[in-house]
Amino acid sequence: MALNEEPVAEVKGPGVIDVTVWRQEHSMTVHLVNMTNPMMMKGPFRELIPVTAQVSIKIPQGAKADTVNLLVSGQKPSFEIMEDNVTLTVPQIFDHEIIGIDLT
């Protein structure tokens, strides 16, 4: 990614979340790993603190988002498509959630 490029996924909310985006020909997945815990910088996890996240995902040029699913929890979240972005709220990330987007 060049310095002037916008990120593919933007996550807002409390806590610390590791974000990884994976694109295939007809789909995208956004992995959200919840790193939030009281002793985050001092050794192993002692307690996971669930967090909520507002997520905006840039859809690749020439593609359209068809369906959006939360693959770990099995939920079908409400989402909005504005221009080339999908926005949604992930209601709870305990340790890991995956946003799956089918592209057409």
β-sheet bridge partners, residue 69: 100
Query: What is the reported pLDDT for 9?
Result: 98
Task: Render pLDDT for 6-47 as a digit per residue (tens, 0 to 9).
Answer: 899 999 999 999 999 999 999 999 999 999 988 777 777 778
d(CA 62, CA 32): 25
Please tell me the pTM assigned to this model: 0.91
Domains, the chain, in order of start with CATH, read: 9-53+63-81+90-103 (2.60.40)
45 in Cβ contact with 54 (< 8 Å): no
The conformation of residue 60, written as its DSSP 8-state character, comes to P
Report CA-CA distances (Å) from 67 to 7, 9, 28, 31, 40: 21, 17, 11, 16, 34
Q: Which of 56, 57, 58, 78 has the alpha carbon at shortest distance from 67? A: 78
